[in-house]
Structure 1
Amino acid sequence: MKQQEQGSMSRPVSQSLKEYARGIAGGLLFSFPLLYTMEVWWAGFVAAPLDLMLLVVVTYLLLLGYNRYAGMRADASWRSVFVDSVEEMGIGIALSFGVLLMLNRISIGSMSVEEIMGKVILEAMAVSIGVSVGTAQLGVGEEGDPQNRDYDAGKQNDEQNGRNTSKMAAVVLSLCGAILVGGNVAPTEEIVMIAVEAEPIHILFMAIVSILLSVVVVYFSDFRGSKVRLSGSFVFDVTLNTCLSYLIALAASAFALWFFGRFDNMGLWKSLAQCITLGVIASLGASAGRLLIK
Protein backbone atom coordinates (compact mmCIF):
# COMPACT_ATOMS: atom_id res chain seq x y z
CA MET A 1 0.00 0.00 0.00
CA LYS A 2 1.05 3.57 -0.74
CA GLN A 3 3.90 2.06 -2.68
CA GLN A 4 6.10 3.43 -5.45
CA GLU A 5 6.36 1.48 -8.68
CA GLN A 6 10.10 1.22 -8.23
CA GLY A 7 11.43 -0.28 -5.07
CA SER A 8 8.19 -1.73 -3.78
CA MET A 9 9.59 -5.25 -4.07
CA SER A 10 12.45 -4.38 -1.72
CA ARG A 11 10.19 -2.85 0.91
CA PRO A 12 10.69 -4.53 4.31
CA VAL A 13 7.90 -6.79 5.54
CA SER A 14 7.75 -4.80 8.79
CA GLN A 15 6.97 -1.62 6.87
CA SER A 16 4.20 -3.33 4.92
CA LEU A 17 2.70 -4.68 8.14
CA LYS A 18 2.77 -1.20 9.68
CA GLU A 19 0.98 0.23 6.65
CA TYR A 20 -1.68 -2.46 6.83
CA ALA A 21 -2.08 -1.78 10.56
CA ARG A 22 -2.53 1.95 9.89
CA GLY A 23 -5.06 1.16 7.18
CA ILE A 24 -7.06 -1.11 9.48
CA ALA A 25 -7.00 1.49 12.25
CA GLY A 26 -8.09 4.23 9.87
CA GLY A 27 -10.83 2.11 8.35
CA LEU A 28 -12.34 1.36 11.75
CA LEU A 29 -11.79 4.88 13.10
CA PHE A 30 -13.70 6.58 10.31
CA SER A 31 -16.39 3.96 9.74
CA PHE A 32 -17.36 2.48 13.12
CA PRO A 33 -20.47 4.73 13.35
CA LEU A 34 -21.74 3.24 10.08
CA LEU A 35 -20.88 -0.29 11.13
CA TYR A 36 -23.08 0.22 14.22
CA THR A 37 -25.97 1.93 12.38
CA MET A 38 -29.20 -0.04 11.89
CA GLU A 39 -30.30 1.98 8.87
CA VAL A 40 -27.14 0.95 7.00
CA TRP A 41 -27.77 -2.73 7.73
CA TRP A 42 -31.29 -2.38 6.36
CA ALA A 43 -30.07 -0.44 3.30
CA GLY A 44 -27.64 -3.25 2.55
CA PHE A 45 -30.45 -5.76 2.87
CA VAL A 46 -32.74 -4.01 0.38
CA ALA A 47 -30.10 -2.55 -1.99
CA ALA A 48 -30.42 -3.57 -5.62
CA PRO A 49 -27.35 -5.11 -7.31
CA LEU A 50 -27.09 -2.17 -9.72
CA ASP A 51 -27.07 0.29 -6.81
CA LEU A 52 -24.29 -1.67 -5.12
CA MET A 53 -22.29 -1.74 -8.36
CA LEU A 54 -22.72 2.02 -8.71
CA LEU A 55 -21.52 2.52 -5.13
CA VAL A 56 -18.45 0.35 -5.77
CA VAL A 57 -17.57 2.35 -8.90
CA VAL A 58 -18.04 5.72 -7.18
CA THR A 59 -15.96 4.61 -4.18
CA TYR A 60 -13.18 3.31 -6.38
CA LEU A 61 -13.07 6.62 -8.27
CA LEU A 62 -12.84 8.46 -4.93
CA LEU A 63 -9.98 6.20 -3.87
CA LEU A 64 -8.20 6.83 -7.16
CA GLY A 65 -8.59 10.58 -6.71
CA TYR A 66 -7.47 10.56 -3.09
CA ASN A 67 -4.45 8.35 -3.77
CA ARG A 68 -3.48 10.40 -6.81
CA TYR A 69 -3.70 13.83 -5.20
CA ALA A 70 -3.01 13.22 -1.52
CA GLY A 71 -2.50 9.63 -0.39
CA MET A 72 0.71 8.89 -2.31
CA ARG A 73 3.85 10.71 -3.31
CA ALA A 74 3.57 12.98 -6.33
CA ASP A 75 5.92 10.81 -8.42
CA ALA A 76 3.86 7.62 -7.88
CA SER A 77 2.68 6.07 -11.14
CA TRP A 78 -0.94 5.53 -12.07
CA ARG A 79 -0.27 1.78 -11.89
CA SER A 80 0.58 2.13 -8.20
CA VAL A 81 -2.52 4.25 -7.64
CA PHE A 82 -4.76 1.63 -9.28
CA VAL A 83 -3.17 -1.26 -7.36
CA ASP A 84 -3.34 0.47 -3.98
CA SER A 85 -6.98 1.47 -4.51
CA VAL A 86 -7.92 -2.15 -5.21
CA GLU A 87 -5.94 -3.23 -2.14
CA GLU A 88 -7.76 -0.75 0.07
CA MET A 89 -11.15 -1.92 -1.17
CA GLY A 90 -10.14 -5.50 -0.42
CA ILE A 91 -9.16 -4.57 3.13
CA GLY A 92 -12.43 -2.66 3.52
CA ILE A 93 -14.45 -5.72 2.47
CA ALA A 94 -12.51 -8.00 4.83
CA LEU A 95 -12.91 -5.58 7.75
CA SER A 96 -16.61 -5.08 7.13
CA PHE A 97 -17.25 -8.81 6.93
CA GLY A 98 -15.34 -9.44 10.16
CA VAL A 99 -17.00 -6.67 12.16
CA LEU A 100 -20.53 -7.50 10.96
CA LEU A 101 -19.91 -11.15 11.75
CA MET A 102 -18.68 -10.20 15.22
CA LEU A 103 -21.76 -8.03 15.81
CA ASN A 104 -24.04 -10.87 14.65
CA ARG A 105 -25.41 -8.71 11.85
CA ILE A 106 -24.63 -11.40 9.29
CA SER A 107 -24.99 -15.13 9.68
CA ILE A 108 -23.48 -17.50 7.15
CA GLY A 109 -25.88 -20.31 8.02
CA SER A 110 -29.20 -18.48 8.06
CA MET A 111 -28.78 -15.57 5.60
CA SER A 112 -28.75 -15.64 1.84
CA VAL A 113 -25.59 -14.79 -0.06
CA GLU A 114 -27.31 -11.71 -1.51
CA GLU A 115 -28.16 -10.30 1.92
CA ILE A 116 -24.66 -10.90 3.26
CA MET A 117 -23.05 -9.36 0.18
CA GLY A 118 -25.36 -6.34 0.30
CA LYS A 119 -24.53 -5.53 3.92
CA VAL A 120 -20.81 -6.18 3.54
CA ILE A 121 -20.39 -4.23 0.31
CA LEU A 122 -22.34 -1.23 1.56
CA GLU A 123 -20.31 -1.01 4.76
CA ALA A 124 -17.03 -1.81 2.99
CA MET A 125 -17.17 1.24 0.75
CA ALA A 126 -17.00 3.62 3.71
CA VAL A 127 -14.39 1.46 5.42
CA SER A 128 -12.14 1.43 2.36
CA ILE A 129 -12.00 5.24 2.26
CA GLY A 130 -11.02 5.20 5.92
CA VAL A 131 -8.34 2.60 5.12
CA SER A 132 -6.83 4.88 2.48
CA VAL A 133 -6.89 7.94 4.73
CA GLY A 134 -5.57 5.99 7.72
CA THR A 135 -2.66 4.53 5.78
CA ALA A 136 -1.62 7.98 4.60
CA GLN A 137 -2.31 9.98 7.76
CA LEU A 138 -1.67 7.87 10.85
CA GLY A 139 1.98 7.05 10.20
CA VAL A 140 5.15 8.74 11.40
CA GLY A 141 8.47 8.96 9.64
CA GLU A 142 10.95 6.09 9.60
CA GLU A 143 14.56 6.73 8.73
CA GLY A 144 15.69 5.08 5.52
CA ASP A 145 12.24 4.44 4.18
CA PRO A 146 12.19 5.43 0.49
CA GLN A 147 8.39 5.69 0.54
CA ASN A 148 8.29 7.86 3.66
CA ARG A 149 6.51 11.18 3.27
CA ASP A 150 8.33 12.63 6.27
CA TYR A 151 11.79 12.18 4.77
CA ASP A 152 12.15 15.94 4.50
CA ALA A 153 9.52 18.30 5.93
CA GLY A 154 10.31 21.16 3.58
CA LYS A 155 10.23 18.94 0.52
CA GLN A 156 6.99 17.35 1.61
CA ASN A 157 5.23 20.71 2.00
CA ASP A 158 6.42 21.91 -1.38
CA GLU A 159 5.31 18.69 -3.01
CA GLN A 160 1.89 18.73 -1.38
CA ASN A 161 1.33 22.41 -2.12
CA GLY A 162 2.22 21.87 -5.75
CA ARG A 163 -0.20 18.96 -6.10
CA ASN A 164 -3.12 20.49 -4.29
CA THR A 165 -3.25 23.94 -5.89
CA SER A 166 -5.24 22.61 -8.85
CA LYS A 167 -8.99 22.85 -8.70
CA MET A 168 -9.29 19.16 -9.53
CA ALA A 169 -7.30 18.23 -6.44
CA ALA A 170 -9.44 20.55 -4.31
CA VAL A 171 -12.63 19.00 -5.71
CA VAL A 172 -11.45 15.43 -5.10
CA LEU A 173 -10.28 16.08 -1.54
CA SER A 174 -13.40 18.08 -0.70
CA LEU A 175 -15.59 15.27 -2.02
CA CYS A 176 -13.68 12.67 0.01
CA GLY A 177 -14.04 14.79 3.14
CA ALA A 178 -17.75 15.38 2.58
CA ILE A 179 -18.46 11.69 2.00
CA LEU A 180 -16.29 10.57 4.91
CA VAL A 181 -17.91 12.95 7.42
CA GLY A 182 -21.45 13.33 6.06
CA GLY A 183 -21.77 9.66 5.16
CA ASN A 184 -21.85 8.71 8.83
CA VAL A 185 -25.10 10.65 9.31
CA ALA A 186 -26.81 10.30 5.91
CA PRO A 187 -28.55 6.96 6.57
CA THR A 188 -30.09 8.00 9.90
CA GLU A 189 -33.74 8.92 10.38
CA GLU A 190 -32.78 12.13 12.18
CA ILE A 191 -31.89 13.90 8.92
CA VAL A 192 -35.36 13.22 7.51
CA MET A 193 -37.03 14.25 10.77
CA ILE A 194 -35.14 17.55 11.00
CA ALA A 195 -35.78 18.39 7.34
CA VAL A 196 -39.50 17.58 7.49
CA GLU A 197 -40.10 19.54 10.69
CA ALA A 198 -37.91 22.54 9.80
CA GLU A 199 -39.43 25.82 8.70
CA PRO A 200 -37.91 27.73 5.74
CA ILE A 201 -36.13 30.07 8.17
CA HIS A 202 -34.38 27.10 9.79
CA ILE A 203 -33.24 25.80 6.39
CA LEU A 204 -31.93 29.26 5.53
CA PHE A 205 -29.96 29.43 8.79
CA MET A 206 -28.51 25.96 8.11
CA ALA A 207 -27.29 27.09 4.69
CA ILE A 208 -25.76 30.28 6.11
CA VAL A 209 -24.04 28.41 8.94
CA SER A 210 -22.66 25.86 6.47
CA ILE A 211 -21.12 28.61 4.34
CA LEU A 212 -19.71 30.43 7.38
CA LEU A 213 -18.18 27.20 8.67
CA SER A 214 -16.44 26.68 5.34
CA VAL A 215 -15.00 30.20 5.41
CA VAL A 216 -13.82 29.90 9.01
CA VAL A 217 -12.22 26.49 8.53
CA VAL A 218 -10.41 27.26 5.28
CA TYR A 219 -9.29 30.83 5.92
CA PHE A 220 -9.34 31.68 9.62
CA SER A 221 -8.77 28.44 11.56
CA ASP A 222 -5.00 28.22 10.96
CA PHE A 223 -5.42 24.54 10.06
CA ARG A 224 -2.53 22.81 8.36
CA GLY A 225 -2.63 23.73 4.67
CA SER A 226 -4.97 26.70 5.00
CA LYS A 227 -2.25 29.29 4.39
CA VAL A 228 -1.64 28.30 0.78
CA ARG A 229 -5.12 28.92 -0.56
CA LEU A 230 -4.90 32.55 -1.62
CA SER A 231 -3.72 33.15 -5.18
CA GLY A 232 -5.28 36.52 -6.05
CA SER A 233 -7.98 38.78 -4.67
CA PHE A 234 -8.92 37.73 -1.15
CA VAL A 235 -12.64 38.29 -1.70
CA PHE A 236 -12.59 36.41 -5.00
CA ASP A 237 -10.69 33.46 -3.50
CA VAL A 238 -12.97 33.29 -0.47
CA THR A 239 -16.10 33.39 -2.62
CA LEU A 240 -14.88 30.89 -5.21
CA ASN A 241 -13.48 28.30 -2.80
CA THR A 242 -16.37 28.61 -0.35
CA CYS A 243 -18.98 28.16 -3.06
CA LEU A 244 -17.01 25.24 -4.48
CA SER A 245 -16.82 23.50 -1.10
CA TYR A 246 -20.49 24.05 -0.36
CA LEU A 247 -21.68 22.86 -3.77
CA ILE A 248 -19.54 19.74 -3.41
CA ALA A 249 -20.98 19.17 0.08
CA LEU A 250 -24.53 19.47 -1.28
CA ALA A 251 -23.74 17.13 -4.16
CA ALA A 252 -22.22 14.55 -1.81
CA SER A 253 -25.24 14.91 0.51
CA ALA A 254 -27.67 14.45 -2.37
CA PHE A 255 -25.89 11.31 -3.58
CA ALA A 256 -25.76 9.76 -0.09
CA LEU A 257 -29.40 10.58 0.65
CA TRP A 258 -30.54 9.26 -2.73
CA PHE A 259 -28.60 6.03 -2.26
CA PHE A 260 -30.19 5.41 1.14
CA GLY A 261 -33.66 6.07 -0.28
CA ARG A 262 -34.29 9.30 1.61
CA PHE A 263 -35.86 10.98 -1.43
CA ASP A 264 -38.53 8.31 -1.86
CA ASN A 265 -42.04 9.81 -1.65
CA MET A 266 -40.54 13.23 -0.93
CA GLY A 267 -41.31 16.43 -2.78
CA LEU A 268 -38.68 18.75 -4.20
CA TRP A 269 -38.67 21.07 -1.18
CA LYS A 270 -38.31 18.28 1.39
CA SER A 271 -35.55 16.67 -0.66
CA LEU A 272 -33.70 19.99 -0.88
CA ALA A 273 -34.25 20.54 2.84
CA GLN A 274 -32.62 17.17 3.55
CA CYS A 275 -29.60 18.09 1.41
CA ILE A 276 -29.16 21.38 3.24
CA THR A 277 -29.63 19.68 6.63
CA LEU A 278 -26.98 17.07 5.90
CA GLY A 279 -24.92 19.78 4.18
CA VAL A 280 -24.13 21.39 7.53
CA ILE A 281 -22.06 18.34 8.41
CA ALA A 282 -20.88 17.56 4.89
CA SER A 283 -19.65 21.13 4.32
CA LEU A 284 -17.47 20.85 7.40
CA GLY A 285 -16.05 17.64 6.00
CA ALA A 286 -15.55 19.19 2.56
CA SER A 287 -13.71 22.26 3.83
CA ALA A 288 -11.73 20.65 6.65
CA GLY A 289 -11.19 17.42 4.77
CA ARG A 290 -9.12 18.93 1.98
CA LEU A 291 -6.88 20.57 4.57
CA LEU A 292 -6.55 17.64 6.97
CA ILE A 293 -6.66 14.42 4.91
CA LYS A 294 -3.47 15.07 2.96
Structure 2
Amino acid sequence: MAASRGRERDGGGVATLRIPSSTEFFVGAGRAFAGALLFSLPMLMTMEFWQLGFTIDPFRLALLLAIGVPLLVRLSRYGGIRHTVRLQDDVADVFVSLLIAFVTAGLLLWLFGEVAPGRPLREVWGKVAVQAFPAAIGAMLALNQFGQGDTDADADADRGEIETRYGGELFLMVVGALFLSLNLAPTDEVAVLAFTMSVWQEIGLLVLTLLLMHAFVHAVEFGGTHRRVAGESVLGLFARSTLAGYAAVFLVSVYVLWTFGRTDGVALHEVISMAIVLSFPGAVGAAFARLIL
Protein backbone atom coordinates (compact mmCIF):
# COMPACT_ATOMS: atom_id res chain seq x y z
CA MET A 1 0.00 0.00 0.00
CA ALA A 2 1.30 3.45 -0.79
CA ALA A 3 2.31 5.53 2.17
CA SER A 4 0.02 8.38 3.08
CA ARG A 5 0.23 11.24 5.50
CA GLY A 6 -1.94 9.21 7.79
CA ARG A 7 -5.47 9.63 6.37
CA GLU A 8 -7.52 7.42 4.15
CA ARG A 9 -11.14 7.77 3.06
CA ASP A 10 -13.69 5.09 3.79
CA GLY A 11 -16.57 4.23 1.52
CA GLY A 12 -18.58 7.19 2.78
CA GLY A 13 -15.78 9.65 2.01
CA VAL A 14 -14.92 10.24 5.66
CA ALA A 15 -11.23 10.73 6.45
CA THR A 16 -9.85 8.22 8.97
CA LEU A 17 -6.48 7.94 10.64
CA ARG A 18 -4.17 5.22 9.33
CA ILE A 19 -1.16 4.13 11.36
CA PRO A 20 1.89 3.58 9.12
CA SER A 21 3.09 -0.03 9.12
CA SER A 22 6.47 -1.09 10.48
CA THR A 23 7.53 -1.90 6.91
CA GLU A 24 6.82 1.68 5.84
CA PHE A 25 8.81 2.98 8.80
CA PHE A 26 11.88 0.87 8.02
CA VAL A 27 11.66 1.82 4.34
CA GLY A 28 11.53 5.44 5.45
CA ALA A 29 14.50 4.88 7.75
CA GLY A 30 16.45 3.43 4.84
CA ARG A 31 15.65 6.50 2.78
CA ALA A 32 16.68 8.66 5.73
CA PHE A 33 20.07 6.94 5.86
CA ALA A 34 20.51 7.57 2.12
CA GLY A 35 19.55 11.22 2.59
CA ALA A 36 21.89 11.66 5.56
CA LEU A 37 24.77 10.14 3.59
CA LEU A 38 24.12 12.20 0.46
CA PHE A 39 23.72 15.51 2.27
CA SER A 40 26.64 15.07 4.69
CA LEU A 41 29.26 13.36 2.50
CA PRO A 42 30.98 16.59 1.33
CA MET A 43 31.36 17.64 4.98
CA LEU A 44 32.50 14.21 6.13
CA MET A 45 35.41 14.36 3.69
CA THR A 46 36.47 17.96 4.38
CA MET A 47 39.49 18.66 6.59
CA GLU A 48 38.07 21.85 8.10
CA PHE A 49 35.21 19.87 9.60
CA TRP A 50 37.61 17.37 11.14
CA GLN A 51 39.49 20.25 12.76
CA LEU A 52 36.26 21.62 14.25
CA GLY A 53 36.31 18.71 16.64
CA PHE A 54 39.22 20.48 18.36
CA THR A 55 38.25 24.12 17.90
CA ILE A 56 34.47 24.57 18.02
CA ASP A 57 33.09 26.11 21.19
CA PRO A 58 30.97 23.50 23.04
CA PHE A 59 28.26 26.04 23.87
CA ARG A 60 27.91 27.12 20.24
CA LEU A 61 27.75 23.51 19.09
CA ALA A 62 25.11 22.71 21.73
CA LEU A 63 23.13 25.78 20.66
CA LEU A 64 23.22 24.67 17.03
CA LEU A 65 21.83 21.27 17.97
CA ALA A 66 19.23 22.85 20.28
CA ILE A 67 18.02 25.13 17.49
CA GLY A 68 18.09 22.21 15.11
CA VAL A 69 15.49 20.10 16.94
CA PRO A 70 12.47 22.46 16.57
CA LEU A 71 13.61 23.33 13.06
CA LEU A 72 13.61 19.64 12.11
CA VAL A 73 10.19 19.17 13.74
CA ARG A 74 8.84 21.94 11.53
CA LEU A 75 10.62 20.49 8.51
CA SER A 76 8.86 17.19 9.09
CA ARG A 77 5.62 18.90 8.07
CA TYR A 78 6.99 19.24 4.54
CA GLY A 79 8.50 15.79 4.24
CA GLY A 80 10.26 13.47 6.62
CA ILE A 81 11.00 9.83 7.22
CA ARG A 82 7.28 9.11 6.78
CA HIS A 83 4.07 11.05 6.22
CA THR A 84 2.66 12.22 9.54
CA VAL A 85 -0.30 14.15 10.91
CA ARG A 86 0.47 14.39 14.63
CA LEU A 87 3.10 16.48 16.37
CA GLN A 88 4.30 13.54 18.45
CA ASP A 89 4.97 11.60 15.24
CA ASP A 90 7.02 14.51 13.91
CA VAL A 91 9.03 14.66 17.15
CA ALA A 92 9.63 10.91 17.05
CA ASP A 93 10.80 11.10 13.45
CA VAL A 94 13.17 13.95 14.31
CA PHE A 95 14.91 11.92 16.98
CA VAL A 96 15.08 8.92 14.63
CA SER A 97 16.65 11.16 11.99
CA LEU A 98 19.16 12.50 14.52
CA LEU A 99 20.04 8.96 15.58
CA ILE A 100 20.54 7.98 11.94
CA ALA A 101 22.62 11.13 11.38
CA PHE A 102 24.89 10.46 14.37
CA VAL A 103 25.35 6.80 13.38
CA THR A 104 26.09 7.74 9.77
CA ALA A 105 28.62 10.42 10.72
CA GLY A 106 30.25 8.33 13.43
CA LEU A 107 30.57 5.23 11.26
CA LEU A 108 32.10 7.04 8.30
CA LEU A 109 34.47 9.11 10.42
CA TRP A 110 35.62 5.88 12.10
CA LEU A 111 36.14 4.24 8.71
CA PHE A 112 38.10 7.32 7.59
CA GLY A 113 40.26 7.06 10.71
CA GLU A 114 39.13 10.39 12.13
CA VAL A 115 37.58 8.98 15.30
CA ALA A 116 38.89 6.02 17.24
CA PRO A 117 38.89 4.59 20.76
CA GLY A 118 41.37 6.34 23.00
CA ARG A 119 40.96 9.78 21.44
CA PRO A 120 39.65 12.61 23.67
CA LEU A 121 35.88 12.46 24.10
CA ARG A 122 35.49 16.16 23.27
CA GLU A 123 37.29 15.66 19.95
CA VAL A 124 35.18 12.65 18.99
CA TRP A 125 31.93 14.31 20.07
CA GLY A 126 32.78 17.55 18.28
CA LYS A 127 33.65 15.83 15.02
CA VAL A 128 30.51 13.71 15.00
CA ALA A 129 28.06 16.30 16.35
CA VAL A 130 29.06 19.05 13.93
CA GLN A 131 28.22 16.69 11.06
CA ALA A 132 24.99 15.43 12.58
CA PHE A 133 22.70 18.41 12.03
CA PRO A 134 23.25 18.71 8.25
CA ALA A 135 22.98 14.92 8.01
CA ALA A 136 19.70 15.08 9.93
CA ILE A 137 18.38 17.64 7.43
CA GLY A 138 19.21 15.17 4.67
CA ALA A 139 17.45 12.40 6.58
CA MET A 140 14.34 14.54 7.06
CA LEU A 141 14.25 15.41 3.36
CA ALA A 142 14.43 11.73 2.42
CA LEU A 143 10.75 11.36 1.63
CA ASN A 144 10.73 14.37 -0.71
CA GLN A 145 13.89 13.34 -2.55
CA PHE A 146 13.70 9.55 -2.57
CA GLY A 147 10.01 8.85 -2.00
CA GLN A 148 7.60 7.73 -4.68
CA GLY A 149 5.56 10.90 -4.67
CA ASP A 150 2.42 8.91 -3.88
CA THR A 151 0.81 11.11 -1.26
CA ASP A 152 -2.94 11.31 -1.23
CA ALA A 153 -5.11 14.32 -1.94
CA ASP A 154 -5.47 15.20 1.74
CA ALA A 155 -1.69 15.18 2.18
CA ASP A 156 -1.23 17.44 -0.82
CA ALA A 157 -3.87 19.80 0.51
CA ASP A 158 -2.23 19.97 3.95
CA ARG A 159 1.19 20.59 2.42
CA GLY A 160 -0.15 23.20 0.04
CA GLU A 161 -1.87 25.02 2.90
CA ILE A 162 1.39 25.22 4.83
CA GLU A 163 3.44 26.34 1.85
CA THR A 164 1.10 29.20 0.98
CA ARG A 165 1.80 30.87 4.31
CA TYR A 166 4.36 33.62 4.13
CA GLY A 167 6.18 32.37 7.22
CA GLY A 168 6.35 28.90 5.71
CA GLU A 169 8.10 30.24 2.61
CA LEU A 170 10.68 32.05 4.70
CA PHE A 171 11.17 28.95 6.82
CA LEU A 172 11.99 26.85 3.77
CA MET A 173 14.47 29.48 2.63
CA VAL A 174 16.15 29.39 6.04
CA VAL A 175 16.47 25.60 5.84
CA GLY A 176 18.06 25.73 2.38
CA ALA A 177 20.39 28.55 3.38
CA LEU A 178 21.36 26.83 6.61
CA PHE A 179 22.28 23.61 4.88
CA LEU A 180 24.61 25.14 2.29
CA SER A 181 26.02 27.65 4.77
CA LEU A 182 26.93 24.85 7.18
CA ASN A 183 28.79 23.12 4.36
CA LEU A 184 30.89 26.16 3.43
CA ALA A 185 31.27 28.42 6.47
CA PRO A 186 34.18 26.50 8.09
CA THR A 187 36.27 26.58 4.91
CA ASP A 188 39.08 29.12 4.53
CA GLU A 189 37.88 30.11 1.06
CA VAL A 190 35.01 32.20 2.46
CA ALA A 191 37.39 34.38 4.47
CA VAL A 192 39.91 34.56 1.61
CA LEU A 193 37.28 35.70 -0.88
CA ALA A 194 35.93 38.30 1.56
CA PHE A 195 39.47 39.63 2.10
CA THR A 196 40.39 39.86 -1.59
CA MET A 197 37.13 41.27 -2.99
CA SER A 198 36.71 45.01 -3.35
CA VAL A 199 33.66 46.86 -2.04
CA TRP A 200 32.24 47.14 -5.56
CA GLN A 201 32.74 43.45 -6.16
CA GLU A 202 30.88 42.70 -2.94
CA ILE A 203 28.03 44.99 -4.00
CA GLY A 204 27.98 43.28 -7.39
CA LEU A 205 27.83 39.85 -5.72
CA LEU A 206 24.96 41.03 -3.49
CA VAL A 207 23.00 42.31 -6.52
CA LEU A 208 23.66 39.09 -8.44
CA THR A 209 22.49 37.05 -5.44
CA LEU A 210 19.22 38.98 -5.27
CA LEU A 211 18.63 38.61 -9.01
CA LEU A 212 19.30 34.87 -8.92
CA MET A 213 17.00 34.37 -5.94
CA HIS A 214 14.20 36.23 -7.67
CA ALA A 215 14.76 34.50 -10.99
CA PHE A 216 14.89 30.97 -9.57
CA VAL A 217 11.74 31.34 -7.48
CA HIS A 218 9.61 33.76 -9.48
CA ALA A 219 10.78 34.23 -13.06
CA VAL A 220 12.10 31.15 -14.86
CA GLU A 221 9.08 28.93 -14.08
CA PHE A 222 10.77 25.94 -12.52
CA GLY A 223 8.40 23.38 -11.08
CA GLY A 224 7.05 24.75 -7.80
CA THR A 225 7.59 28.37 -8.85
CA HIS A 226 5.76 30.79 -6.59
CA ARG A 227 2.84 32.58 -8.20
CA ARG A 228 2.25 36.28 -7.63
CA VAL A 229 -1.00 37.10 -5.85
CA ALA A 230 -3.62 39.13 -7.66
CA GLY A 231 -2.90 42.84 -7.67
CA GLU A 232 0.67 42.49 -6.43
CA SER A 233 3.31 44.46 -8.34
CA VAL A 234 6.67 43.07 -9.37
CA LEU A 235 8.39 45.42 -6.94
CA GLY A 236 6.02 44.40 -4.18
CA LEU A 237 6.76 40.73 -4.80
CA PHE A 238 10.50 41.47 -4.91
CA ALA A 239 10.38 43.30 -1.57
CA ARG A 240 8.04 40.84 0.17
CA SER A 241 9.70 37.64 -0.96
CA THR A 242 13.18 38.17 -2.39
CA LEU A 243 14.44 40.95 -0.14
CA ALA A 244 12.93 39.37 2.95
CA GLY A 245 14.35 36.01 1.92
CA TYR A 246 17.81 37.49 1.42
CA ALA A 247 17.65 39.16 4.83
CA ALA A 248 16.89 35.77 6.37
CA VAL A 249 19.76 34.17 4.41
CA PHE A 250 22.17 36.92 5.50
CA LEU A 251 21.27 36.46 9.17
CA VAL A 252 21.70 32.69 8.82
CA SER A 253 25.15 33.31 7.31
CA VAL A 254 26.19 35.54 10.20
CA TYR A 255 24.93 32.99 12.73
CA VAL A 256 26.77 30.10 11.08
CA LEU A 257 29.98 32.13 10.84
CA TRP A 258 29.66 32.91 14.55
CA THR A 259 28.98 29.25 15.38
CA PHE A 260 32.23 28.18 13.74
CA GLY A 261 34.24 31.01 15.30
CA ARG A 262 34.77 32.89 12.06
CA THR A 263 33.62 36.20 13.57
CA ASP A 264 35.85 36.06 16.65
CA GLY A 265 38.24 39.02 16.76
CA VAL A 266 37.08 40.18 13.33
CA ALA A 267 36.03 43.74 12.49
CA LEU A 268 32.37 44.40 11.67
CA HIS A 269 33.01 45.24 8.02
CA GLU A 270 34.91 41.97 7.61
CA VAL A 271 32.01 40.02 9.13
CA ILE A 272 29.65 41.73 6.68
CA SER A 273 31.98 40.87 3.80
CA MET A 274 32.13 37.20 4.80
CA ALA A 275 28.35 37.12 5.24
CA ILE A 276 27.85 38.54 1.74
CA VAL A 277 30.14 35.87 0.30
CA LEU A 278 28.47 33.07 2.26
CA SER A 279 24.99 34.39 1.40
CA PHE A 280 25.61 33.68 -2.28
CA PRO A 281 25.49 29.88 -1.99
CA GLY A 282 23.06 30.25 0.91
CA ALA A 283 20.62 32.16 -1.30
CA VAL A 284 20.86 29.52 -4.03
CA GLY A 285 20.07 26.87 -1.43
CA ALA A 286 17.21 28.96 -0.11
CA ALA A 287 15.68 29.42 -3.55
CA PHE A 288 15.86 25.76 -4.48
CA ALA A 289 14.60 24.61 -1.09
CA ARG A 290 11.49 26.71 -1.72
CA LEU A 291 11.03 25.00 -5.09
CA ILE A 292 11.65 21.34 -4.24
CA LEU A 293 9.86 21.08 -0.88
Q: Which moved more, 1:210-219 or 1:74-83?
A: 74-83
For residue 222 of structure 1, what is the aligned residue in structure 2? 221
1:138 maps to 2:140: no
Residue 75 to residue 113, structure 1, CA distance change in 2 (3 Å): closer
1:121 maps to 2:121: no
Partner Cα distance (1:233, 1:98) in 2: 51
Residue 84 to residue 75, structure 1, CA distance change in 2 (3 Å): closer
CA RMSD of aligned residues (A): 2.3
For residue 52 of structure 2, what is the aligned residue in structure 1? 43
For residue 17 of structure 1, what is the aligned residue in structure 2? 26
1:1-294 equivalent positions in 2, closer than 5 A: 4=6, 6-8=17-19, 11-13=21-23, 15-71=24-80, 76-109=85-118, 111-141=119-149, 148-149=150-151, 151-152=152-153, 157-235=156-234, 236-292=236-292, 294=293
Please state how far the C-alpha of 1:47 moved relative to its aligned partner: 2.2
Partner Cα distance (2:134, 2:123) in 1: 18
Q: Name the % identity.
A: 26
Partner Cα distance (2:224, 2:289) in 1: 11
State TM-score, norm by structure 1: 0.88
For residue 144 of structure 1, what is the aligned residue in structure 2? none
The runs of at least 4 aligned residues of structure 1 exceeding 6 Å deviation read: 72-75
Q: Which moved more, 1:232-241 or 1:247-256?
A: 232-241
Give 5+ residue unaligned stretches, structure 1: 142-147
Partner Cα distance (2:247, 2:46) in 1: 27
Residue 46 to residue 227, structure 1, CA distance change in 2 (3 Å): closer
Partner Cα distance (1:59, 1:52) in 2: 11
Quick one: which amino acid aligns to residue 242 of structure 2? Answer: T
Partner Cα distance (1:21, 1:266) in 2: 43
State TM-score, norm by structure 2: 0.88
* Conserved? CA contact 1:4–1:76, under 8 Å: yes
Partner Cα distance (1:115, 1:32) in 2: 19
Partner Cα distance (2:64, 2:167) in 1: 21
Partner Cα distance (2:58, 2:218) in 1: 42
Partner Cα distance (1:231, 1:50) in 2: 47
Quick one: which amino acid aligns to residue 175 of structure 1? Answer: V
* Conserved? CA contact 1:27–1:131, under 8 Å: yes
Quick one: which amino acid aligns to residue 103 of structure 1? Answer: F
Quick one: which amino acid aligns to residue 74 of structure 2? Answer: G
User: Match of 2:186, SS?
Assistant: coil
Quick one: which amino acid aligns to residue 222 of structure 1? Answer: E
Show CA shifts across 1:161-191 (max 9, x none): 2211112211211111111122211110000
* Conserved? CA contact 2:81–2:143, under 8 Å: no
Show CA shifts across 1:132-170 (max 9, x none): 0123321115xxxxxx52x35xx5554432211112211
